Chains A and B, each alone.
Chain A
Amino acid sequence: MVRERGQMKIMQMLFMIVGVFFFFVLAGLFFLGIMFKDVRGGADELAREQAISSLEILAAMPELSYGDREAMSLDEDKLRVMVEGYGASYGNFWPIASLEVYKIYPAFDSVVPCPAANCNYYNIYTDPRYENLQVGDSGQGNIEKVSSYVSICKRIRELGSVYDRCEVGKIVVGMEEISEVGE
């Protein structure tokens, strides 16, 4: 009788310990889940911030920017000039693999490279080493492309008045991936 009672007590204690253990495991997992979700979100946000900051520097260069008044505004007339061969001469100046700009709004059905009428895609610079690569070629993976929204502005004369018209575009910069030591 005493023995059974003792066993009962041991079982009670065992159930209690198992219950408390599972509770803390679940609480820990829940807490870790929240923590890691936040860390991952923070890392993604930092990567976006870094990409946008580096693109902001490029967009602010006098060769591309639309006046001095606004950040992330590109001059469409300057883009047209750069696309007609001037961009290539900046190869040594820009430490990048490629620089492209395309319009997003007004929306378009097909990509029309500039210079052309109603064009929407400016390939300003591409490193000669990557010029002939097609998507899927080995070596394409060495370029990491980062992008950001920009305003593409130009001065227009209409009905005898001049005004600034800004459209939505995207600047895309290809950067060579640097492999880490020991990889």
Chain B
Amino acid sequence: MKLKDRGQQEIVGFVLIVVVVMVALMVFLIISVRDSGEDVDSVGVANMLDVLIKTTSDCAVVAEPKYDSFEDLFKSCYDDESCSNLERSACEYLNESLGVVVSSMVKSEAMIGAWEVDFSVRDGKGILKWDEGNCTGSFSGASRTIVSGGRSLVVRMRACYI
């Protein structure tokens, strides 16, 4: 009788170990799947970001008609410069205009339900952030590095595909 009880206890112990190992494996799998999705650049979002940073803005830092592209505008914002033709800082103009441009782009793409753009110094603090919509699908992202005065600035875009 005692031998039978011990056998049952061992079976229960074995099942418990199997359950614990399975749970640990699943947690590991979920974490690894999530991580791999964020690291790879999405071609669609990278295309959006490339077109966005090439777009000419209405801000001329030096003098008209030398208007900054959004790439130059990110640098001007980091360097705390001002738009000479608009009498406002480059960061203020960037903060107002970038959201409008991305919003217009996203309106033409039915598959994108929400988006986020981050502008930050690499390994440093965030400078500006824009977002719109609520994500009900999965996020895809891409980033571009802009070099200004020896510092690397990072523009990261994430789009939520429905």
What's the minimum C-beta distance from A10 to chain B, rounded to whole angstroms?
A: 13
Residue of B nearest to A156 (CB): B65
Q: Indicate the member of B29, B51, B66 with the most A CB atoms within 10 Å.
A: B51
Given contacts A27-B22, A104-B108, contact A161 B66 (CB under 8 A): yes
Q: Is the CB of B140 within 8 A of A151?
A: no
Decide if B52 is an interface residue (CB 8 Å cutoff). yes
Q: Is the CB of B29 within 8 A of A166?
A: no
Which listed residue (B30, B54, B105, B138) contacts A41, Cβ 8 A? B138
What's the minimum C-beta distance from B134 to chain A, rounded to whole angstroms?
A: 19
Which listed residue (B19, B22, B29, B43) contacts A34, Cβ 8 A? B29
Decide if B33 is an interface residue (CB 8 Å cutoff). yes
Which listed residue (B22, B55, B65) contacts A167, Cβ 8 A? B55
CA distance A164 to B56 in the complex (A): 8
CA distance A20 to B22 in the complex (A): 12
1/0 per position for B84-106, CB-CB distance to A under 8 A? Answer: 00000000000000001100110
What's the minimum C-beta distance from B162 to chain A, rounded to whole angstroms?
A: 10
Interface residues of A in 49-108 (CB under 8 A from B): 49, 52, 70-73, 104-107
Decide if B78 is an interface residue (CB 8 Å cutoff). no
Which listed residue (A148, A149, A167) contacts B56, Cβ 8 A? A167
Decide if A150 is an interface residue (CB 8 Å cutoff). yes
Q: Is the CB of B67 within 8 A of A107?
A: no
* Interface residues of A, dominant DSSP: mixed
Q: Is the CB of A149 within 8 A of B48?
A: yes
1/0 per position for B32-57, CB-CB distance to A under 8 A? Answer: 01000100001110011011101110
Return chain B residues, CB-CB under 8 Å to A16: 15
* Interface residues of B, dominant DSSP: helix
Interface residues of B in 4-46 (CB under 8 A from A): 15, 19, 22, 26, 29-30, 33, 37, 42-44
1/0 per position for A23-47, CB-CB distance to B under 8 A? Answer: 1000100110010011001001100
Return chain B residues, CB-CB under 8 Å to A150: 51
CA distance A100 to B80 in the complex (A): 40
CA distance A137 to B82 in the complex (A): 54
Q: Is the CB of A45 within 8 A of B15?
A: no
CA distance A82 to B42 in the complex (A): 32
* A/B interface sample: 20 pairs, CB < 8 A: A16-B15, A20-B15, A27-B22, A34-B30, A34-B33, A38-B33, A38-B37, A48-B43, A71-B50, A72-B47, A73-B54, A105-B55, A106-B104, A151-B51, A158-B64, A163-B65, A165-B56, A166-B54, A166-B56, A168-B101
Which residues of B pack against A, CB within 8 Å?
15, 19, 22, 26, 29-30, 33, 37, 42-44, 47-48, 50-52, 54-56, 64-67, 69, 100-101, 104-105, 107-108, 138, 140, 161
Beyond the given pairs A148-B47, A168-B104, 17 more chain A to chain B contacts, judged by CB atoms under 8 angstroms and listed by A's residue number, are A31-B29, A34-B30, A45-B42, A49-B43, A52-B43, A71-B50, A104-B104, A105-B55, A105-B100, A105-B104, A107-B100, A151-B54, A163-B65, A163-B67, A167-B55, A168-B101, A170-B108
